């Protein structure tokens, strides 16, 4: 079994070259991988800051939306109270 490298030296040499190329490619990629991990870490920090900001602002947004809903309800009630029934025979204006 261990003699197969001796009987097929070209195959063994080709395998060694492929392994060397793979190792060289992996080592060459390490700086890029490190850069990407740093960017990913920074993105995580930014997302954490954004979620903290959103969590702090949500109660105020809900409060403002409730105020707007109350204002819209008041406008709707005034419009309903002032509604005039229009029929086919009603006088047209405008």
CA distance 56 to 50: 10
pLDDT at 24: 86
Burial pattern 53-68, b for ≥16 Cβ within 10 A else e, equals: eeeeeeeeeeeeeeee
Instruction: Provide the whole-model pTM.
Output: 0.47
pLDDT digits (tens, 9 = 90+) for 14-67: 888 888 888 888 888 899 999 999 999 999 999 999 999 999 999 999 999 999
Answer whether 12's CB lies under 8 Å from 5's CB: yes
């Amino acid at each position: 079994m261990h003699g197969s490298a001796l009987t097929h030296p070209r195959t063994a040499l080709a395998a060694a070259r492929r392994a060397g190329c793979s190792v060289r490619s992996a080592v060459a990629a390490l700086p890029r991988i490190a850069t990407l991990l740093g960017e990913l870490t920074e993105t995580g920090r930014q997302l954490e800051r954004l979620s903290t900001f959103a969590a702090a602002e949500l109660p105020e947004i809900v409060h403002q939306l409730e105020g707007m809903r109350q204002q819209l309800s008041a406008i709707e009630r005034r419009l309903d109270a002032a509604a005039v029934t229009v029929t086919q025979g009603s006088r047209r204006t405008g």
